Amino acid sequence: MTSRKPMVDIFSQVIEQQRELGLGELRLDRNAVTTLLPAEPSRKPSRDSLAPTKALTDFCEQINNCTKCRLHEGRNKFVFGVGYPAADVMFVGEGPGHDEDMKGEPFVGRAGQLLDKILAAIKFDRKQIYIANIVKCRPPNNRDPQPDEMSECLPYLKKQIEIINPRFICCLGRVAAQALLGVTTPLGKMRGRFMDFEGRKLMVTYHPAALLRFPQYKRDTWEDVQMLRKEYDEWLAL
């Protein structure tokens, strides 16, 4: 990748983004700098978004009155998902919280604002990727979704993945990763590398809500998402 942008601007941008993410100490690594070079015209132009847009809209209409599990009882809004219907990269969270339930959109509360910063640090934004959750309705008092609730809802997410057909999936937090992969592996053993998920590249990092409580994990998260961006750029260049 080449750029005429002065190095000093690029470094300033890296520093500013690390500050935004709330990273205490400065780190300038090679990946961070290369991924912050001006974005290439983003995705492979091969796939048209019309068919997946219609398929997603139809699917949302089909399922948004779901009453399969008890979570529908407290639901204000069904939180289907948001983003580009033919996204190459999909982020998967756990389930809606209060703000998401009010708005009907994933990651719009405090954790969502941090997610936006994480995305910005790797030059992604909501319009270019897709974001969805394991469960589409808010668990009461923000408790973890229960196994039966997740297993009722998981086919919905799997169908979304099939329609969107992303090359990359990034699971946010242990609960999302374990549910999607069907494993009980601890988060620390899953993050930092790519795994296969039905022919797609899947990685796991910390949940932004966990980062709000434990800022010491921001460093690892920063490295995880840089890894994602690097792999994505390499795939784009193929």
List contacts with ligand URA (CB under 6 A): 93-97, 100, 106-107, 111-112, 133, 173-174, 187, 206-207, 209-210
Q: Cβ closer to ligand URA: 30 or 143?
A: 143
State the Cα–Cα distance between residues 139 and 190, nearest whole angstrom. 25
Please choose, from the candidates 203, 199, 200, the residue with its C-alpha nearest in 3D space to the C-alpha of residue 227.
Answer: 203
Q: In what order do the strands lie in the sheet with 89-93?
A: 82-83, 130-133, 89-93, 168-172, 200-205, 195-197
Q: In whole angstroms, what is the distance from residue 11 CA to residue 22 CA?
A: 17
- Smallest gap from Cβ 62 to ligand URA, in A, equals 21
Strand partners, 200: 197
- HSE-up (13 A, CA, CB side) for residue 187: 16
Residues in Cβ contact with 3 at an 8 Å cutoff, skipping those fewer than 6 apart: 10, 37, 38
Residue whose CB is less far from ligand URA, 52 or 93: 93
Closest distance of CB 96 from ligand URA, Å: 5
CB 35, CB 226: distance < 8 Å: yes
Q: How far is the CB of 187 from ligand URA (least distance, A)?
A: 5
172, β-bridge pairs:
205
Cβ distance to ligand URA smaller for residue 47 or 219 = 219
User: Cα Rg for the chain, rounded, in angstroms?
Assistant: 18
Amino acid at 136: K
CB nearer to ligand URA: give 155 or 188.
Answer: 188
Q: How far is the CB of 23 from ligand URA (least distance, A)?
A: 17
Q: How far is the CB of 110 from ligand URA (least distance, A)?
A: 9
Q: How far is the CB of 235 from ligand URA (least distance, A)?
A: 26
Ranked by CB distance to ligand URA, the top (closest) residue is 93
Q: Smaller CB distance to ligand URA: residue 86 or 111? A: 111
Rank residues 85 and 139 by Cβ distance to ligand URA and give the closer one: 139
